């Protein structure tokens, strides 16, 4: 039996190594693709929740609602212009 040349053996080993490397990269790519899809779905859910919170905040902080709460629940009354006291500071602020 004749000995194979070192170049042939190295070429075969390199081919096998590259085949396994390619397989591993394909597996890793699919794994990362699934992770990205999961993150995108989570991001979409967070965006929808954020939209709902912003809409709720707009409703809850509307001036009409705040005024109704102030008058009905807290018994507050609008100020008359003569009830407002202006304070002037030494540095000129307070207009």
Residue 29 pLDDT greater than 70, yes or no: yes
> pLDDT-based confidence at 91, cuts 50/70/90?
confident
| pTM over the 0.85 mark | no
Chain segment 43-59, per-residue pLDDT in tens: 999 999 999 999 999 99
φ, ψ dihedrals at 33, nearest 5°:
-65, -40
Alpha helices in the chain (DSSP H): 6-60, 63-72
Residue 63 confidence (pLDDT) above 80: yes
Q: How far apart are CA 76 and CA 62, in angstroms?
A: 17
Q: Does residue 4 have a pLDDT over 50?
A: yes
């Amino acid at each position: 039996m004749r000995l194979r040349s070192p170049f042939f053996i190295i070429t075969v080993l390199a081919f096998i190594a590259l085949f396994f490397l390619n397989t591993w990269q394909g597996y890793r790519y699919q794994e990362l693709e699934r992770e990205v899809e999961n993150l995108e779905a989570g991001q979409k859910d967070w965006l929808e929740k954020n939209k709902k919170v912003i809409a709720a905040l707009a409703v809850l902080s509307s001036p009409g609602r705040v005024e109704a709460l102030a008058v009905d629940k807290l018994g507050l009354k609008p100020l008359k212009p003569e009830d407002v006291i202006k304070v002037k500071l030494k540095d000129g602020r307070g207009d």
